[in-house]
Amino acid sequence: MKKSLYILLAFTLLQITFVEAQDPHFSQFFSSPLTLNPAFTGKFDGLIRFAADHRDQWPTIPKAYVTTSASVDFGIFKNKLPENDVLGIGFSGLSDQSANSALKLNYGSVSFSYHKAFDEDGYNTLGVGFQGTYSSMMLDITKLNFEDQLTQNGFTGTTSEVLSNGSTQNYFDMNAGLLFSGSTDGINNYYAGAAMYHINQPSVGFIDQMWKLSPRYCMHAGGSFPLGNAFTLNASAIAQIQNNANETVIGAALSNTLNASANANSPTNIYFGAWLRLNDAIIPYVGLEFNNLRVGLSYDVNVSQLKAATQSRGGTELSLIYVTKKKERVNSIPCPTF
């Protein structure tokens, strides 16, 4: 049974890699801002933001997909810009390993964004972001099983498959996005954005013909809405399309502030909620925020046609977001957090 799964995974991997490559994704998309939309760069309430996310998908198929991302972003030239405008710069990296590390994707990105305030309080802004990425994709064919390795005497360990274009593909990528962020009272926040990835459609391929990497279109929205003094509803949704693949995720988490009166600048919050990836998975989420650090944990419960092979286990995901802030702040501008 395990060998059959490896053959199926290898076949799927080859189809994805050689024909219609799809991007890595996170269930906690709201915790990985620079992979969600370059326009998020620098758009947060604080000085410096560090974010990291680790995902292990389909654990019943050993190391099927393991994805890790990390980023740092901050505002620059604050004293030279109009009040409440933001010029942001960010640096991010991602490592994605598939089929027990047979296929590896590593990339590093540099992002820039500018957010223009529409009112004197800075509650409503429109931002545009750009991102340049250098990627390296590597395929270790020795870690895959192919049909010609299966003979009447069992697996031979040798295959006639040859990587005619080499085992490593390097390419440069361009991404861009727009983001609107608004508030009615300086406390709540709502936002909507759109992004396009692989604008230049770089060519990738290990066997014979090179294939253009299809653009990925991303639309997302969300907001944080206080429900009294101690509770806040944090909702978000995303819809993505790339080639013939599409993904829609929607959900919310309710947060409870435990020490609102004791420390308004750095409250302690607990989060409980769930997201739904349509026709694929239910994603329960729990989180804890303290000392400007938010830790989130989610688990995909597979409800798709793969639930039998995966035993309904979609994957575990852990996220971290840490924001440094001034010890004494006069004004706090509402920004997207979920």
Kindly indicate whether the domain formed by 2-324 is annotated with CATH number 2.40.160.40. yes
Domain boundaries of the chain, sorted by first residue? 2-324
pLDDT value at position 160? 65
**Parallel/antiparallel/unpaired status of strands 154-155 and 231-242:** unpaired
What is the dihedral sign for C-alpha 219, 28, 73, 292? positive
Provide the residue type at 192 as one letter: A
pLDDT tens for residues 238-279? 999 998 889 999 999 999 998 765 456 678 999 999 999 998
pLDDT tens for residues 278-300? 988 899 999 999 999 999 999 99
| 279 alpha-carbon distance from chain centroid | 19
Gyration radius of the chain's alpha carbons? 22
DSSP string, 234-299: EEEEEEEEETTEEEEEEEEEEEEES-TTT-SSS--EEEEEEEEETTTEEEEEEEEEETTEEEEEEE
Split at pLDDT 50, 70, 90, the class of 200 is very high
Task: Give the 3-state secondary structure of 186-235.
Answer: CCCEEEEEEEEECCCCCEECCCCCCEECCCEEEEEEEEEEEECCCEEEEE
pLDDT value at position 117? 94
pLDDT tens for residues 129-178? 999 999 999 888 777 777 766 777 766 666 767 777 777 889 999 999 99
pLDDT surpasses 50 at 14: no
Split at pLDDT 50, 70, 90, the class of 206 is confident
pLDDT tens for residues 15-72? 434 334 468 889 999 999 999 999 999 999 999 999 999 998 876 666 678 899 999 9
